Structures are given as structure tokens and as C-alpha cells.
């Protein structure tokens, strides 16, 4: 599990190679990741948007930006946590992702929370 804390917001990521959906012979590699966002601050915050940078081992990168996470813009009171599962596809068997969330406090102050960098590695490469 990869974890990063920014402004008392803890973001943890677990990665799972999706063998059943991947087709290595066709350069298609699928990964799922589970994210847990914990509000350890004293203020209520809302996740407004996400920004990802995705890299494969051919040194090709792409950016993904959008509102919320999997269709939600969760509000996290102090002590609350939000979890979601999403996925990523690559054309290589290894890569990495990193990014950030744009968060907002009740007084409309906005700030960025880092998502820890994590590696995407096909399970058979780990042997």
C-alpha cells in the first residue's frame, strides 16, 4: 500500500493486476486500484476533482483530469473516510501513476492533496 499525507488528508492506494482482462499478446494490460481518502483534519472538506499522470514503460505519458472520483464529489467530515475502486490500462506490462485531488473547505478555500506515486506491474513480472 502506498500512502501520502497532505494537509492532514491521508491517501492510500492498493493496486491489483487484472489478469482476466489483460491481453499481453495484444499489448493490453489492465490494473485496478483501490483508493482510501481519510480526513484527519479538524475541518470538513469536499473532493472536487482529480488529476492523474499515467506513465508506461515506453516513456509514454498521458494526463487524466475530471470532476470527482467515479462520479462522486464526496464530503468528508473530520474523521471520515471515502473509498473507491477504479482502473487503468497500459500498453506495456509496467508503468506508474501519480496525481492529486483538488479539495475545498467549507469557507471555499481550495487546496491540492497529493496522491502517492504507485507502480503498475503485471503479476508475472514480480516472480
Write the pLDDT tens digit of every residue in 87-109: 999 999 999 999 999 999 999 99
For the CA atoms of 52, 9, 87, 120, the dihedral, rounded to the nearest 10 degrees, stands at 80
Q: Please state, in angstroms and rounded to a whole number, the distance separating the CA atoms of residues 75 and 39.
A: 10
Q: CATH topology for 2-126?
A: Immunoglobulin-like (2.60.40)
- What predicted TM-score, i.e. pTM, was given to this entire model? 0.92
pLDDT at 26: 95
Q: Where are the alpha helices (DSSP H) in 12-101?
A: none
Q: Where are the alpha helices (DSSP H) in 1-127?
A: none
Inter-residue contact 115 to 69 (CB < 8 Å): no
Model confidence over 43-79: pLDDT tens digits? Answer: 999 999 999 999 999 989 999 999 999 999 999 999 9
Amino acid at each position: 500500500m502506498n500512502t501520502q499525507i497532505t494537509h492532514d488528508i491521508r491517501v492510500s492506494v492498493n493496486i491489483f493486476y487484472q489478469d482476466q482482462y489483460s491481453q499481453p499478446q495484444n499489448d493490453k494490460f489492465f490494473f485496478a486500484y483501490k483508493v482510501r481518502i481519510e480526513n484527519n483534519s479538524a475541518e470538513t472538506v469536499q473532493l472536487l476533482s482529480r488529476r492523474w499522470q499515467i506513465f508506461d514503460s515506453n516513456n509514454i505519458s498521458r494526463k487524466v483530469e475530471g470532476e470527482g472520483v467515479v462520479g462522486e464529489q464526496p464530503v468528508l467530515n473530520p474523521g471520515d473516510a471515502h473509498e473507491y475502486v477504479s482502473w487503468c490500462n497500459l500498453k506495456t506490462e509496467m508503468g506508474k501513476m501519480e496525481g492529486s485531488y483538488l479539495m475545498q473547505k467549507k469557507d471555499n478555500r481550495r487546496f491540492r492533496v497529493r496522491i502517492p506515486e504507485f507502480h503498475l506491474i503485471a503479476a508475472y513480472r514480480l516472480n
